[in-house]
Amino acid sequence: MKSYPARYSKAQIKIQEMAFVLVAFVVFFVIAGLFYLSLRMSGVRGDVQAQSESDAQELIRTLAETPELRWSSTASDCEGCIDMDKAILLKDDKLKIFSELWNVDRLSLEIIYPEKNGECSSVNYPECGEITLLNKSTSYKLYGSFVSLCRLDSSGSRICYLGKIYSSAKELK
């Protein structure tokens, strides 16, 4: 049996060409769209992470405002300051305030400026740089917020340092 090659008219070839071009365009735009979307999504993911970090920092800041840590001398007002003299008394969560009442896994204070080193104890306080209030093992991320850490010196005047309060908890994840 004799076979005949398919014969296309010029118009059919043109239509075929047009179809190829259209398919190529569609494929191009789909790839470009996916690329653009992935870029936007990575940006959104970054924004979400930044927002959740910001929320965590605000939440930690509220810990500094609680009566157990807040500077509350009637002689001098100090907004957002932490009383280091109170904190050293609550070190190692002796009263279980932080672990049971606030449900926090880790809580510590660190002096950033002026530079001081070493964990505080009743022996070396205030010549030390860090007060660990609670240190339970946890898988949650540790967040930090800037605060003013204040104490009374021997003459009764307030001395404040720039510090950070660090915490990790389920609510901060």
Partner 1 sequence: MRDKKAQEEVVGFAVVVVLVSVIFVIILGFSMNKPTTQDKQSTDVRQFLESIREVTTDCSLSGSIPANLKELMGACYSRTYCSSGAKACDELNNTMKDILEASYSPSEEAHIKAYIFSIDFETSSSQRENLITQKSGNCSSNSYRESDDFFPYTNGQIFTELRLCY
Tell me which residues touch partner 1 (CB under 8 A): 17, 21, 24-25, 28, 32, 36, 39, 43, 47, 50, 53-54, 57-58, 61, 78, 80-81, 112-115, 145-148, 150, 155, 157-163
C-beta closer to partner 1: residue 43 or 118: 43
C-beta closer to partner 1: residue 6 or 115: 115
Q: Could you give the CA distance from residue 84 to residue 82 in angstroms, rounded to a whole number? A: 6
Q: Could you give the CA distance from residue 163 to residue 81 in angstroms, rounded to a whole number? A: 10
C-beta closer to partner 1: residue 61 or 86: 61
Q: How far is the CB of 139 from partner 1 (least distance, A)?
A: 23
Q: How far is the CB of 93 from partner 1 (least distance, A)?
A: 24
C-beta closer to partner 1: residue 50 or 101: 50
Q: What is the 3-state secondary structure (H, E, C) of 23-66?
A: HHHHHHHHHHHHHHHHHHHHHHHHHHHHHHHHHHHHHHHHHHCC
Q: Could you give the CA distance from residue 115 to residue 39 in angstroms, rounded to a whole number? A: 41
On whether the CB atoms of residues 148 and 65 are closer than 8 A, the answer is no
Q: How far is the CB of 1 from partner 1 (least distance, A)?
A: 31
